[in-house]
Amino acid sequence: MRIIENNIIKEKLYLEELENGLKVMIIPKKGTNKKMAIIGTKFGSIDNHFINPKTKEEVIIPDGVAHFLEHKMFEQSDGTNSLDTLTAMGVEANAYTTNDHTAYYFEAVDNFEPAFKELLNYVFNPYYTDQNVEKEKGIIDQEIGMYDDDAISKVFYNALECMYEKCPVRIDVAGTVESVDKINKDILYNCYNTFYNPSNMILSVCGDFEPDYIINLIKTNMKKIEKLDKIERIYPEEPEKIYNAYKEEKMDVSIPTFVIGIKDKVEKENIIKKELILNILLNYILDENSKLYKELYDEGLLISEPDLEYEYSDIYSHMMIFSYSKDPKKVFEKVKEEIRLLKDNGLEEKVFNRVKNKIYGRLITSYNSPAQVGRIFMRDYMNNIISFDYLNEWNNINIEDANKELKDRFIEDKMILSIVNPK
């Protein structure tokens, strides 16, 4: 096992790749009651066009397959449901699908070993029939309808549709009623056998145990699966410019909801430093202690602190500001004006250091929770990042770099506004 230690927080990561290609990350935390295990596959809503690594054939699948697979993984051939089985053990279990990965996890105080065995069992033993696939379509159609009526979901996807013309990140994770209707058990098995191969997966475990215990538990409870070649994904070429600058919808809401989006260049170099700086800049501009937020709040233009987010993958990169306002267009103009002023005058060192320390504090405290640690390490490793590297990079961030990123990334021509207004 490869051992990576971080002296800042006195934590260790044990990293091992098994013969079948499964990457295992173990982060021991002595003295903690809770234990967490999460297994993720690099298969999300954007992966709808690929080369089958076995047949070498080009495959195009309907939108929503990754999410459909997540729904079906708990059902077992003996008629049981693994989610019910885990709940009966007293553990908290669930799953989720994102743009670029799907994950299954549980948190436990007791019964870790039987829960862990159940996790490995259901993730590596799929069971799809014509009947259970058709039944699931009705459930997912209801979910799609629910999100269609949800203003937060609508305003986010409208923002993505504004920023991106061709990139599949603009597609709803669940797909559409029409695309879900095209899914069958053969498509599910084809995608499962491609993307749920251990060589495309990461298992992250955090809690009070010895690393050898976890490795032995995996090796004795995993069936033998042949390692596959790397999956070749096919994505459309996305223009650098935004697709639309503005989109508005009317829904049954009491106050307008909005997202300001900033489309960014996709870059793989220095991504850790870039991510940290962009999070600092977003908070500098509009966290609850910023000059602009206080001004907007005092004027009644913002009713709560905005959600600030930077997202990236191999094919997309963007920032989002989400909040509620009686006049989103005015907020948008104020944000653009603040960015112009900061570009002209530069960042104030005192404010920059305050925000930098706040983000650093969040990073440090995230290591207190085994659930957060397990999830963060798995997600970061999907992007070929060891989570400790964020802490190691921290001292390399300075105000000069932040001023440069501000000018390079916060470009008005790359900014969009998505609004959901009351009917």
Catalytic residue (choose from 5, 17, 19, 70): 70
Cβ–Cβ < 8 Å for 107, 92 = yes
Reduce the DSSP state of residue 420 to 3 states and report it: strand
- Token pair of 217 as six digits: 């538990």
Instruction: Work out whether strand 23-28 and strand 201-207 pair parallel, antiparallel, or are unpaired.
Output: parallel
The vertex-118 CA angle with 112 and 122, nearest 5°, equals 150
Q: Which residue in this structure is represented by tokens 């609004």? A: 419
- Token pair of 92 as six digits: 């908290």
Helices 151-163 and 130-148 cross at an angle (nearest 10°) of 90
Cβ–Cβ < 8 Å for 411, 265 = no
Q: Is 17 a catalytic residue?
A: no
* Per-residue H/E/C for 38-85: EEEECCCCCCCEEECCCCCCEEECCCCHHHHHHHHCCECCCCCEHHHH
Task: Compute the distance between CA of residue 176 and CA of residue 179 in angstroms, rounded to an integer.
Answer: 5
Which residues are catalytic, by number?
70
